[in-house]
Structure 1
């Protein structure tokens, strides 16, 4: 069935929905660095559910077609084509797709990192006479200001769905089309598309050809591994199942196991336990909570299982580790 394409041409993107994710996209805008983690069209199965989770970055969700619902801040919202919502850092959210007309979602998952202030701008602030003897900043000051304003507004954007009245979704297709057609300046085009997606998202709350293969790339398995690891680091304190992470990353359980074997020479479960144990060791060294509370706060269903895993990993019980650590601190 060909679904409605009222907001953006979806059919070309359905052929290669993860094409943009193959690029290692990083750029600077103002005094911020931006790294693209996900940039794709996601077509969900009827009735599919994605349980509560959070990210340490920004995730832009645009409903290109279909229906569903999202839970944000304990509030359930209906979703339909033409709507969007933003989940900022540590915002818990869950999704459910319509049984008969499931969502197709354009997703941009973006890490935003503050960078050091440009040295020339700093020197101009300290010595205004520099402006008369050195070239103009070529709009740098305005760029820094606009980027700062945009990022600040992203943090302030309410966690609720809104209508995409500014045709923001068209920039997903514009970025995709630039790669497919091997456009000259494709990297800058994609950069501008991402900036436009951010800017138009914030506005909503106020009412000769180069082959893309020459760009820096990541293996698909590397992308999947990075996403899975980030998901675990963000959600290790909750119950996490292999199937849940595989669904979030967009691959099968078996594929995800192979990815972990490739990059860690261990299983998914072993990696998850290692992340949890690292946090537990820190709490045992410096915290005052009981071992029972620490176990539950770090994703273990009960303290007995923690004792089993901990002793196998460190050769002693959590309680012995805690006592030993406190003795060292008191010496």
Structure 2
């Protein structure tokens, strides 16, 4: 059976640059992004406030001035209960291809370094230049970006990685193709059996892939995708909660409300009221 050619979370760079730079979407707080992964390298640098990362089941609390590197195909979740100002840089992994190991692989450490302040200052300066956009800012940004790449490759790159990490990375690439398809069809009644059949796996094998490598079961992953879309509609539209639920694959408003309260500790209508207050 031929596998559909879906690619997982393709980066669309900022115009004129080989990377994507932006303000973290959870800057208003009360934010939770469930377990996910992608092909890009990501750097999160906290300029104000705090947030928490969960990478491969390990917790990394970040305060003002801290940053974290998220590797390609590294499973992570993000929690930002309070307002923050965090700069995010996404770098296509192929920009590091000249520095791959023999296994065509690259991995950066998360550990504390004595030169951490260099990374955060570069990130903040990059975003400042991009925001102000004075004459010649493109040249300044590319110069800073190359310095940052140099620091990553020379100070953070791990030259020895264990076999299990290589295997996990390979499996998450395969799962990435499947989850990209799922993200396009999440509104449908797409069962594990149906998805497995599309990609030529047995349901039990695909279920084990999700649990072993993504650390989440299939049903929870699908519900997380649906919930993220519902969350956006709650923030940006005036649609009824029941309408939002049905549009995004939930059987009814009660199912959406129960999951929403479980994940965010608040009901959808209460969340919407809070959003309206902050906009006044």
- Give the shorter-chain TM-score range: 0.3 to 0.5
TM-score (norm 1): 0.35
TM-score, normalization: structure 2?
A: 0.41
